Structure 1
Amino acid sequence: MLLPLSSHNVIQYLQDECLCSSEDGLLDASELPESGKKNLNLLVIAGNSKLLVKQKRSVERDGIPHEFFNEWLFHQLLQQFPVLGNLSAIAPLIQHFDEENSILVRNYLSEYVELGKFYRHQDIFPTEIATAIGATLAGLHRATFQRREYRDFMSAAPEGEFRYNFYNPAQGVGSISPEIFGMVPTDALKFYVLYQRYESLESAIADLAYEWQPCCLTHNDLKLSNILIHSRWNKLDNCLVRLIDWEACSWGDPAFDLGTLLASYLGIWLKSLVVDSSIELEESLHLAMTPLEVIQPSLLALIRAYLNAFPMILDYRSDFLVRVIQFAGLTLINQIQETIKCHKCFDNADIYMLQVAKNLLTIPEQSVMSIFGISESEIVSPVAKLHQLPQPEKEQQLVRLYYEKTRLRGC
Structure 2
Amino acid sequence: MIILNTSNVHLYLIKNELIAPEDVVAGNYSCSFIPSRNRNYRISCTDQSLIVKQIRQQDVEKVESIQVESHVYKWFGQVDALKHIGHFVPGFKHYDQTSRVLVLEYLDGYKDLDTYYNRYLKFPENTGGEIATILFHLHQDSRHYLTREVAGHYLRNRKPWIFHIAKVDPENYTADSPAGKELIRLIQSQSVFVSHINQLKSEYRFNTLIHGDIKWVNFLVKWDEGGESMKLIDWEMADYGDPLWDIGGFFQSYISKWAFKNTQKDSPESLAELKSMQGIIDDFWHTYSTFQGYSPTEKSANYYLAFRFGAMRMIQTCLEATKGRDKIDVELVRILQLCFNVMDKPVETVNLLMS
- Give TM-score scaled by structure 2 length: 0.88
Out of 291, 294, 316, the residue aligned to residue 309 of structure 1 is: 291
Cα distance between partner residues in 2 of 1:315 and 1:357:
24
Partner SS, residue 47 of structure 1 = coil
- Report the equivalent of 2:267: 287
Higher mean C-alpha displacement, 193-202 vs 256-265? 193-202
Q: Please name the residue that 1:206 is paired with.
A: 198
- SS of match in other structure, 2:343: helix
**Identity over the aligned pairs, expressed in percent?**
22
Partners of 2:118 and 2:187 lie apart in 1 by: 31
The alpha-carbon deviation at position 83 of structure 1 amounts to 3.1
Instruction: Give the corresponding residue for 2:15.
Output: 16
Give the counterpart of 1:319 among 289, 295, 301: 301
Report the Cα offset of residue 127 of structure 1: 4.7
Task: Give the alignment partner of residue 258 of structure 1, picking from 247, 250, 271.
Answer: 247
3-state SS of 2:44 partner: strand
Q: Which residue of 1 aligns with 2:318?
A: 336
Tell me how far apart the structure 1 counterparts of residues 142 and 104 of structure 2 sit (CA, whole Å). Answer: 23
- Residue in structure 2 matched with residue 268 of structure 1 by the alignment: 257
Letter in 2 for 1:167: R
Q: Does 1:71 align with 2:74?
A: no
Which one-letter code corresponds to 1:119 in the other structure?
Y
Aligned length: 348
Tell me, yes or no, if the aligned pair for 1:151 and 1:217 is still in contact at 8 Å: no
1:352 aligns with 2:342: no
2:151 to 150, 154, 165: 154
Kindly indicate which of the two structures has a greater share of residues assigned to helix.
2
Say which SS state the counterpart of residue 41 (structure 2) adopts: strand
Question: What corresponds to 1:168 in structure 2?
Answer: 159
Preserved contact between residue 78 and residue 84 of structure 1 (Cα < 8 Å): yes
Instruction: Note if contact 1:125-1:295 (Cα within 8 Å) is conserved in structure 2.
Output: no
**CA distance, structure 1, for counterparts of residue 22 and residue 65 of structure 2:** 33
Bigger CA drift: 363-372 or 89-98? 363-372
Q: How far is 1:45 from its partner?
A: 0.6
- Pairing 1:118–2:127 present: no
Residue 132 (structure 2) aligned to one of 118, 131, 134: 134
Tell me the secondary structure at the aligned position of residue 126 of structure 2: helix
Q: Mind listing any 5+ residue stretches in structure 2 that lack a counterpart?
A: none
Give the whole-Å Cα distance in 2 for the aligned partners of 1:313 and 1:226. Answer: 30
Unaligned 5+ residue runs, structure 1? 158-162, 275-283, 374-411
**1:267 counterpart letter in structure 2:** S
1:177–1:306 distance in 2 versus 1, CA, 3 Å = closer
Q: 1:42 to 1:180 in 2, by over 3 A?
A: closer
- Give, in whole Å, the separation in 2 of the partners of 1:134 and 1:118: 19
Change (3 A) 1:3 1:313: farther
For residues 181 and 57 of structure 1, the distance between their equivalents in structure 2, rounded to whole angstroms, comes to 18
Matching of residue 104 in structure 1 with residue 102 in structure 2: yes
CA distance, structure 2, for counterparts of residue 181 and residue 167 of structure 1: 20
Counterpart amino acid of residue 27 in structure 1: Y
Give the counterpart letter for 1:166 in structure 2: N
**Worse-superposed segment, 337-346 or 23-32:** 337-346
Alpha-carbon spacing, 1:180–1:214, altered in 2? closer, same or farther (3 Å): closer
Aligned partner of residue 90 in structure 1, secondary structure: coil
State how far apart, in whole Å, the 2-side matches of 1:87 and 1:95 are. 16
Deviation of 1:335 (Å): 1.4
What's the RMSD between the two structures over aligned residues? Answer: 2.7
Separation (CA, whole Å) in 2 of partners of 1:270 and 1:87: 32
For 1:258 and 1:304, the matched residues in 2 are separated by 12
Match of 2:87 in 1: 89
Give the partner amino acid of 2:286: R
Match for 1:154: what amino acid? A
